[in-house]
A and B are shown apart, each in its own frame.
Chain A
Amino acid sequence: MKRIIIADDSATARMFIKRCLQIIGLGEAEIIEAEHGKEALTAAKAQDIDLLLTDLNMPVMDGETLVKWIKASPKLCGLPIIVITSAGNPAKEAKLLELGAHRVLNKPVSPPVMMDALAEFLDK
Chain B
Amino acid sequence: MKEHDPFYLAMIKAASQTFENMAFMEVMEHFNPAYEIPADEVVWNSLQVNDPVQGEIRLAVAKTCLKTLTGTIFGIAEDEITSTQMNDILNELLNTIVGLFLTNLCADDQEYKMGLPALGEGELPEVDAQTVSWKLMSSEEDALHIFATGTSLVALNNH
A10-B91, A108-B18 known; A87 and B114 CB under 8 Å? yes
Distance A12 CA – B94 CA, assembled complex (angstroms): 12
Stretch from B57-65, B100-108, B125-133, B151-159 at the A interface: B100-108
Name A108's contact: one of B84, B96, B108 (CB within 8 Å): B96
Residues in A with CB closer than 8 Å to B11 are: none
| Closest Cβ–Cβ distance, residue B153 to chain A (whole Å) | 15
Among A74-82, A90-98, A114-122, the stretch in contact with B:
A90-98
What's the least CB distance linking A58 to chain B, in Å? 8
Residue in contact with B110 in the complex, picked from A10, A58, A87, A91, CB distance below 8 Å: A91
Q: Interface size bucket, B side?
A: 20 to 34
Judged by a CB distance under 8 angstroms, whether A31 is at the interface is: no
Taken together as a complex, chains A and B put the C-alpha atoms of A57 and B116 apart, in Å, by 7
Interchain nearest-CB distance for B145 vs A (Å): 20
Residues in B79-93 with C-beta less than 8 Å from chain A? 84-85, 88-89, 91-92
Please give the number of chain A residues whose Cβ is less than 8 angstroms from any Cβ of chain B in the complex: 23
Min CB–CB distance A63 → chain B (angstroms): 13
Pairwise interchain contact A87-B102, C-beta atoms closer than 8 A:
yes
Residues of A22-66 contacting chain B, CB below 8 A:
57-59
CA distance A9 to B112 in the complex (A): 20
Interface positions of A (Cβ within 8 A of B): 9-13, 15-16, 57-59, 85-92, 95, 106-108, 110
Partner-A contacts on B (CB < 8 A):
17-18, 21-22, 73-74, 84-85, 88-89, 91-92, 95-96, 98-100, 102-103, 106, 108-114, 116
